[in-house]
Structure 1
Amino acid sequence: MTPEIDPLDTLDDAVAAAAFRRLVRHLQHRHDAQNIDLMGLSGFCRNCLADWIRDAGFEGGKAHARAVIHGMPMDEWKATRQTPATDDQIAAMEASVAKNRKE
């Protein structure tokens, strides 16, 4: 039996990198899309992207990776972009993140 090839693995690295940069720039522009809401809908957010670039080999620390993804230092992001999370947002995030766990 031949293993199935994941179509994502067939993307040229330059194409994948360009799409990733476009996604990050889109999220930097759409700061109205709160991380808590992204987590509640999709189970990932800007901070996850920062973790993922570190997992992929980014040599900077956590704060540097978050600044790259957010387009500014995390403290500035929180002060100027982040709104307090509601109980409903937290509950949605927790339910969504639970779906990320692999058995």
Structure 2
Amino acid sequence: MEFVQDTHRLALMNLMLHGLESDPAAAGIRYGDTLSPEGAALPKATLILTNPPFGTKKAAACPRVMISPSPPATSSLRFLQHIYRGLKAGGRAAVVLPDNVLF
């Protein structure tokens, strides 16, 4: 799911240029917000590629991101938890993280 319409269009064009499925429904790249109720209904994924919007007010207030009994202090760790819970068993994720998040 891609939140920025122009980026969503570029992703679909990139699939088409590489001879992959460019139909949005079949490609599995949807336009929308993963923190919305629509995003909450997404099935678990085998692959997640993301550059989360760390530090945004919407992310800090979203209950989907704060899903542990004692939520992590930073939105970076909350997004990591959100991404981890969105993966199928054996799934993979590539995530852009700010410096020092994992230290």
TM-score (norm 1): 0.28
Name the structure, 1 or 2, with higher relative contact order (CA <8 Å, separation 6+): 1
TM-score (norm 2): 0.28
Structure of greater Rg: 1
Question: Which has more helix, going by share of residues?
Answer: 1
Question: Which has more strand, going by share of residues?
Answer: 2
